[in-house]
Structure 1
Amino acid sequence: MTADGHATLELEHVDFAYARGADVLHDVSLSLAPGETVGLVGESGAGKTSVLRLLLGLAAPTSGRALFDGAPLRAGDRTQMRSLRRAVQPVYQDPFSSLDPRMTVGQSIAEPLRSLGITRDRSRIDARVAELLTAVDLDVDAASRYPDAFSGGQRQRIAIARALAPRPRLLLADEPVSALDTSVRMHVIELFQRLAAEQGIGMLLVSHDLTIVAALCERMTVLRAGRVVEEGPTTRLLTSPSDAYTAQLVAAVPRLPAV
């Protein structure tokens, strides 16, 4: 919670529909506090991406409220949106969603520092870029190269470094390892674990993969057909789910790691 007792991001009894369409979210409530890691799980089409769009201020609820630091999110409020972008950063499944192939890695990582008005001082920017590359286990000289010079796992590390640039309180990670080879997934998962432990960054991990959620998340929310069917500590939901759909998801996983 923030100093005044609010979560950083909240959805309160939210319904949501795209233009002229049926509701894709029904009475969804969700809260994210600083330093907390939460998994949002469900099958394809459950509404996970719609939840992310609401939390990022990219869409507005049909009913209910989306809140940032206790205040309703308003996409037209430029001051609030800038504060949101500083505090909350996305990490996408495809790192090219956030990396411009025409920009060097250093330019991509530095871009939020300039666009969010954090600093335009070249020496401070260069120092921050070097710090971030080191934090995600890449050589500092990667800053002068372009994204296509790197593997998929390395590009995802660069995208994470970019998301970390404004020192956010929360990362919203949308299937961040599902596009990676199995051999590099654990390296990125370990990076997220280290960031949470060392920097106290909270995270909403959107995933259909319960093994990833088990490794990273303290709490879990299960979404089915746009409705929350169960939420609670990850260990409890994975070992003794109370909802039949959650039990079905758990049963479909061949082997879950110890949690």
Structure 2
Amino acid sequence: MSALLHARDVSFSYRKGAPVLDGVDLALAPGETVGLVGESGAGKTTLLRLLLGLDAPSEGEVLFEGEPLVRRDRATMRRFRRAVQPVYQDPFSSLDPRMTVGASLAEPLRSLGIPGDAQTRAARIAELLTAVDLPADAATRHPEAFSGGQRQRIAIARALAPEPRLLLADEPVSALDTSVRMRVIELLRGLVAERGIGLLLVSHDLTIIAALCQRMIVLEGGRIVEAAETASVLTAPQHPYTRRLLSAVPRLPA
């Protein structure tokens, strides 16, 4: 299956700094769920920014549907934004407190030029809220009325608004209380399975990767050191760095 999004041999350095990424090659196929793991400073968030078109690689290129992602090409970027949507880490800062939830969910529909009158958009907003297990009347309320877990559900609903083919999620549950993390993980698992959406999940938590991702990529110091089916990596890690990550996962006593 051809890649929907492909970071081909990308490297990235901040001005006068050491390389953050070095020769990374990562391809994401439609409907595929991939986990990207590594310790803080490994380059995970920088790679995500390149894949989202927020930064350009110092070397290599990002391809969308087999063609270079040209950030100054407005038509290409609009098509890209419809197909690839982010889910960010902090649900408390990812929503505009001045906007109602309904306005936040309608914003990508307007900004991406998705056709529809007010009635069509209202129906779409109601459908999105139902999809993330929130009541329809949430559309009239502001983010401050919701808990962290509910806000992350709203952020996921907003990402789903333009019917993307791929979600890029950066530590989407790390800011949440332990008690609500699994509910959001289960929500993501169900949405991905039901809608056939691809998912790149950036996380330092291997238990979340194991729950959601078919394939796992391990990043160390800006380089990919291991990439395989998640079950294979977890049961028989090949690289010493991966083995160290696994050894640090807390385990219940027998």
Deviation at 1:74, TM superposition (A): 1.2
Deviation at 1:120, TM superposition (A): 4.3
Mapped contact 2:92–2:148 kept (Cα < 8 A): no
Aligned to 1:95: 91
Aligned to 2:240: 244
Structure 1 stretches of at least 4 aligned residues deviating more than 3 Å after TM superposition: none
> 2:113 corresponds to which letter in structure 1?
G
Aligned to 2:150: 154
Q: C-alpha root-mean-square deviation of aligned residues, in Å?
A: 1.0
Give the alignment partner of residue 176 of structure 1, picking from 161, 172, 197: 172
Residues 59-116 of structure 1: CA distance to partner in whole angstroms, max 9, x if unpaired?
1111111111101111111111111100000000112443110000000011000000
Distance 2:30 2:145 in 1: 35
> 1:134 corresponds to which letter in structure 2?
T
Distance 1:127 1:102 in 2: 22
Aligned to 1:77: 73
Mapped contact 1:42–1:222 kept (Cα < 8 A): yes
Give the alignment partner of residue 206 of structure 1, picking from 192, 196, 202: 202
Aligned to 2:109: 113
Q: How many residues align?
A: 252
Aligned to 1:195: 191
- Structure 2, unmatched stretches of 5+, are none
TM-score (norm 2): 0.97
Mapped contact 1:119–1:125 kept (Cα < 8 A): no
TM-score (norm 1): 0.95
Deviation at 1:47, TM superposition (A): 0.2
Residues 132-151 of structure 1: CA distance to partner in whole angstroms, max 9, x if unpaired?
00000000000000001000
Distance 1:231 1:206 in 2: 14
Q: Determine what percentage of the aligned residue pairs are the same residue.
A: 71
Distance 1:26 1:32 in 2: 19
